[in-house]
Structure 1
């Protein structure tokens, strides 16, 4: 009924979400003025080639379906600005869909692939106008280098996948302002991220990261603010970033020391940091609480013979296990 009403009324929006459909009605292709098509929460495993006629489609939601790959037809919908493919079974993002390098033609209402020498072909425009791309909750292991063609992309989310690396071509996304890489298998981030001048939000919790790229100061402070402010429960990653910033803030001429006053909320958070009693290095969150004993007569030049315990904070078990200090605590293995 929704399709019939849209056909009769010439609507620009069609909502077929949660309709338990397995196939997109081919008559949808007759709605050539459609700008929004919602197909989420169904059992769709493929898209008909007829959707090529939706030349004005700006938003497409295919979330929570049964797609095993990014449909090739999407590479022709060059007016798309928002594409949602979350919660499918996608393992690969084909470079030809993202970059528009495949050559297609229509034969017998069926999409076929041809080589460059075939006749009656046209080059796909790709997804160059895409602003939002959501690939959350899939099984994607890598993003293709052709992602660099998405020059207008502002929001990229690949949460809960199997990414092992981020392509260096990500640096070409000059409009990118937010990227969510949470819950993947990343061990590092590419240095080219610093080229994304508009990037203000980076989410990378629950990965295998041991360090951050050496990036520009604006981006770095933004990353720190997000990691420290939003992922406080992920102590290991948060603390590494905080300690680096605190250490750099001690250097009078460092960029971080000069820029930190421009981030008052972050500066206020870092002001709660402490200093290790052994190595004197700064840290944000208390890691190890110890005591050492002061003899008031000898150490404080007081007349009393009392010995009193004094609280001491250490930054790590490495410092705690170092020889030559008199701090006492309980070490666990």
Structure 2
């Protein structure tokens, strides 16, 4: 059945706009996807696909973004499996310590610090690249942990009914804050 659907899609060539293979128990993405340059919608929900095939990159090139919709829910593409990591506190540089102090004083509207910052444009330039910790709400400059939190998608998104959670990038200032995270927030690591 799956093969017949693919053969029919391939016969359409450039004119094939939609390929729907949901619930077909396939274990990998069809490698023939790159032979469908006009493909706009790819539906691969409810299968057993564990990784994205290299051919999909030809359909999602950012300069001409051919593929407009890609549905892959209920596949084991993204596994939420926690991995224990060695958590060591980083030694902050003097610039990081000073920047954090200044940025958090500015957030508290300290008039002395605000006046001094007006006199030093190079300091303003440095602290303009600040980030805010998602846990403690304090500002930091260079030392941080990249995390992902799985949240329900906004109601105004046009999505599949099966999509229950989407990944959201979260930045955290230290392992101290990371250890205070909620149960649905995970650190990102290269494994």
TM-score, scaled relative to structure 1: 0.26
Of structures 1 and 2, the one with the larger relative CO (CA 8 A, separation 6+) is 2
TM-score, scaled relative to structure 2: 0.45
Higher Cα radius of gyration: 1
